Amino acid sequence: MTDTKKLIQLLYSISDTIVENAQFLTDLDAAIGDSDHGINLARGFKKVETELPALEDKTIDAVLKKTGMVLVSTVGGASGPLYGTAFMKAGAVVKGKSEIDINDFLAIMDAAIGGVQLRGKAVEGEKTMLDAMIPANNAMKKAFDDGKDVHSVLQAGVEAADKGVEYTKSIIATKGRASYLGERSIGHQDPGATSFTILLKTIANAY
Ligand SMILES: Nc1ncnc2c1ncn2[C@@H]1O[C@H](COP(=O)(O)OP(=O)(O)OP(=O)(O)O)[C@@H](O)[C@H]1O
Ligand SMILES: [Mg+2]
């Protein structure tokens, strides 16, 4: 499915899409947060890009770990440590590998979600990135168990993530800055759930 070279290409693509969507994500954060989500993530992934050339001979886990460390140190806010921890935990489950398959990817998703929950102490239904990540992961596992190919597994994840983003419009934020708004957060989609969905779509488009 993916070797280091392909992972590095994917990270360049993810960086491009996050940069393209930076204003959109920041506008979403303006409605229920502090207008920085897209700008911060774009800054982080731009910095990740500068580290990628030196990682070409490294294993998958080294690339994921470095990405996580750069995100923690450059994105800031809530989502920097959350995304950063997700990438670092993802690296830890594929230690020493220079190629991964869809099974490894599902393990990566489990670890990433575990990392976000370890850091942010949120569960599903609190209007966070987890409301896209968890249903996407469940849908991908189901598609994989049903014998679907990589392309279909990833598409199932994207569809579930999109639905998760829609769902965040209907609920009250109880974590992060958006929770200060209480009921007024209803009607707005969560920026973090949206950025995760954009990230997963970029991955899915490559298979
Ligand atoms: N405890 C948490 N667990 C999971 N995701 C969270 C948590 N807190 C915030 N988020 C996610 O982070 C996104 C906001 O990221 P941003 O980069 O704007 O950080 P921020 O401005 O510090 O946000 P906040 O003040 O909401 O924590 C939210 O849309 C949500 O998806
Ligand atoms: Mg913010």
Tell me the CATH number at 19: 1.25.40.340
The whole-angstrom separation of Cα 152 and Cα 185 is 33
**Tens digit of pLDDT for each residue in 143-181?**
999 999 999 999 999 999 999 999 999 999 999 999 999
Q: What is the pLDDT of residue 69?
A: 98
Closest-approaching ligand to the CA atom of 127: 1
Q: Measured in angstroms, how far is the CA atom of residue 34 from the centroid of ligand 2?
A: 4
Q: What is the pLDDT of residue 46?
A: 98
Hey, is 2 helix, strand or coil?
strand
Instruction: List ligand 1's pocket residues with C-beta within 6 A.
Output: 29, 33-34, 36-37, 40, 77-79, 82, 116, 120-122, 128-130, 175-178, 190-193
Cα dihedral sign, 70-76-79-81: positive
Q: Measured in angstroms, how far is the CA atom of residue 177 from the centroid of ligand 2?
A: 7
What average pLDDT score do residues 188-207 get?
98
8 Å CB contact between 3 and 55: no
Distances 125 to 29, 167, 205 between C-alpha atoms, Å: 18, 9, 27
E strand spans, 20-65: none
In ligand 1, the atom with minimum distance to the C-alpha of 193 is: 31
* pTM, full prediction: 0.98
Hey, is 100 helix, strand or coil?
strand
What average pLDDT score do residues 48-63 get?
98
In ligand 1, the atom with minimum distance to the C-alpha of 117 is: 3
The whole-angstrom separation of Cα 10 and Cα 59 is 15
**Tens digit of pLDDT for each residue in 79-115?**
999 999 999 999 999 999 999 999 999 999 999 999 9
Hey, is 99 helix, strand or coil?
strand
> Which residues make up the environment of ion ligand 2, defined by Cβ < 5 Å?
29, 33-34, 36-37
Q: Tokens for 63?
A: 């690339």
pLDDT cut 70: percent of the chain above it:
100
Print the domain residue range for 193: 2-204
The number of folded domains in the chain is 1
Angle at 123 between CA 118 and CA 126, to 5 degrees: 125
